[in-house]
Every structure is written in C-alpha cells, then in structure tokens.
Amino acid sequence: MIRTLSQRVAVRLPFSVQQRQLLLYWLVLLIPLPLAVYTIGLGRYPIAPGEVIDALVRFVVDPPEAGAQPDLVYNVVTRIRLPRITAALLIGANLAVTGVAFQGIFRNPLVDSNILGVTSGAGFGAALALLLSAGAGIVQLSAFGFGLLAVLLAYSISRLYYSAPLLVLTLVGILIGSFFGSLTSVLKYIADPLDSLPAITYWLLGGLTDVTLADVPLLAIISLAGMVFMWAMRWRLNVLSLGDHEALALGLNPARLKLLIILFSTLMTSVAVSVGGVIGWVGLVIPHAARTLVGPDHQRLIPATMAMGASFLLVIDTLSRTLWATEVPLGVFTGLVGVPLLLVILRINKTGWK
C-alpha cells in the first residue's frame, strides 16, 4: 500500500488534502518551462534568461536565413543547448510516464518500463552497431530496433505459458533483459579495448553530450504521441490498477489496453534510450515522488509525472555538464541522485507493503 505524503500529515497542515494536492499539481506542471529557459543560460558560456528568451523567440518567429552568420548567443542557445535541453525534457518525461504506466498495469510499485527488457535490448543493439563501427544514426536505429525486439520476445514467449500471465510476463521480461545483458557482455569482451570498447562503455553509461538538432524530430514525434496516448489512458489506468478481474467487471478490455500501453511504453523507452543511452532510475523514482505530491489518481498523476520527469532529468543533465570540467555520465548521476531520493520518499511515506 502506498500512502501519499499529504494523506499522512493531513491533520497538521492548514489546507485540506484536496486543496494541497491541487496546488502542488499546478506547481509541478508549471516548473519545466521556466526551468528550461534558466538552464539554457547555464554553462561554460553563461547567458542571461532575457537573452535566452530573445534568442528562442527569434528561433521560432524570425529564424536567420540560410547562409547568414547569426550572433554567438543565438548559436549557443539554439544550436548547442536547445537540442540537448529538449532531449532532456522529452527523455525525462518519457521514462517517468512509462514508469507510472507500468507500475499501474503491473500493479507493482517496484517496476519501471525496463521490466520487459527494453533497455537491455537497446543497449545490445547500440553495442553491436558500435562494434561494427557504424555511424551515429545506425547506432540509434539499432538500439531502437533491438529495444523493440527484446519486448516482443518477452511478450511472445510469455504467451506460451498458461498460468498467471502478468507474473509470467514479468519473469520472462527479466530473463530476456538478463539475456541481452549477457550478449552485451560478449560484445564487450570481443571489442577492441582501445577503440570500440570505450565507445560501448561510454554509450551504456548514458548521456546527452552528443545530441544534435537532427536527433530531436524522431524523439519528439514518438515522445509527444506517446504522452498524448498516456494522457488519454489516465482514467483507464486507474481501473487497470485494480486488476484484470475488476477492469473486466467495469466493462474494459484489460488484455487489449495493457498490450497498447506496453506497445507505446516500449516505443517511448526505446527512442529515449536510443538518443540518451541507458538512463536508469527516472522511471522508478519520479512516479513515487509524483504520487507523494499529487496522490495516486492517474488523472493528475500522468501529467505530474511527465512534468516532474522532465524537470528531474533537466536538472541532472545540467548538473552533469556544469559541475565539473569533465561531464559525469547521465546514467551514473541519475542513480547517484535517484537512489537516495527514493529512500527519502519511501521514508516520508512510511510505505507499508505487505
């Protein structure tokens, strides 16, 4: 059972639980945009928020013609930082909302969208392409494809067993994930230790250093489509989280809905991993944090999770590129920050699982 922070401390605070959750909800939704504008200005070449806004407005309303030589601020804002920050927002929202969707349909607060092996599959796909010295585009495509393949395998294999479909699917997902993890280890073992091994290792740690404007369109299309889908599922996820039996009794088709949710989640996670590498913990930490703030109702939880995931990854990415002269890989940082954060949240909630 997961209780929210506001449900626990209801007696001590002045507003009612409902008012407080509503207030926090809108607060959480409003954070990403100003945060993005502020963090674009941060870095080796600091830019004031006013200038950032000016450059962004020009980028949208009046972009300089091809061949023209725009000023330095405009270049830094739109060519270097905007793609990276857009990617951080989209990937963060992606990983967080698929986490909340998976926790809902698996009725398990300890899973995220990686439970069916998508990240391990994508990692293998990227490592394979890197081993063959493929270009950045091929690496992304291979990661995306193998991410989908891993989940497809897990889903199809689990259909061969009769009992407790959800449990079998989880188990097979973990097995497929481990299998692709072993395959990746094989690739690392045979990789050239001076050339492709560092590339594979670095990719697997995750990071947005190499994101360019060209990476954004596919990521944006799949992410936005996925987020719209998840938002459309916001009521159904409430009912699905009660279990198949009750969802059926309330007139839903849980098998079909869960398949759709798994499909969209896998597309979203695959595209996120293909651009940003393996970034763990967002899909587990953010849903818990969001539930603590706005409650378990997916009508608010879905938008709140997207906003919080976007903000979280943006902050982590900004820290990773500004704290030290060399960047700390993003996947390392999300773990270093995310795990203590999750421990704190669980402590606040005094979560009593049975």
Interface residues with other proteins (CB under 8 A) are 1-4, 7, 16-18, 104, 107-109, 232, 234-235, 238-239, 241-243, 245-246, 248-253, 291, 295-297, 299
In the numeric block, the tokens 């394979």 are attached to 128
3-state secondary structure of 192: coil
Q: How many CB atoms within 10 Å of residue 265?
A: 30
Q: Which is nearer to other proteins, 81 or 236 (CB)?
A: 236
Please give the structure tokens belonging to residue 101. 């969707």
Under 8 Å CB-to-CB from 70, ≥6 apart: which residues?
64
Fill in the DSSP letter of residue 68.
-
Q: Which is nearer to other proteins, 2 or 319 (CB)?
A: 2
3-state secondary structure of 324: coil
Q: Which is nearer to other proteins, 1 or 72 (CB)?
A: 1
Please give the structure tokens belonging to residue 82. 């905007």
Q: Which is nearer to other proteins, 127 or 302 (CB)?
A: 302
Fill in the DSSP letter of residue 215.
G
Q: How far apart are CA 145 and CA 137, in angstroms?
A: 12
Q: In whole angstroms, how close is the CB of 337 to other proteins at the nearest point? A: 25
Q: How far apart are CA 176 and CA 170, in angstroms?
A: 10
Cα end-to-end span (Å), the chain: 7
In 159-192, which residue ranges form alpha helices assigned H by DSSP?
A: 165-190
Q: Which is nearer to other proteins, 171 or 252 (CB)?
A: 252
Fill in the DSSP letter of residue 115.
G
Q: In whole angstroms, how close is the CB of 37 to other proteins at the nearest point? A: 31
Q: In whole angstroms, how close is the CB of 111 to other proteins at the nearest point? A: 12
Q: In whole angstroms, how close is the CB of 269 to other proteins at the nearest point? A: 22
Q: Which is nearer to other proteins, 58 or 234 (CB)?
A: 234
Residue pair 309/93 in contact (Cβ under 8 Å)? The answer is: yes
Please give the structure tokens belonging to residue 163. 């009992």
Name the nearest CA neighbour of 291 among 124, 15, 99.
99
Name the nearest CA neighbour of 101 among 121, 115, 86.
115
Q: Which is nearer to other proteins, 162 or 324 (CB)?
A: 162
Q: In whole angstroms, how close is the CB of 193 to other proteins at the nearest point? A: 47
Positive or negative: CA dihedral 50, 51, 56, 58: positive
Q: Which is nearer to other proteins, 5 or 154 (CB)?
A: 5
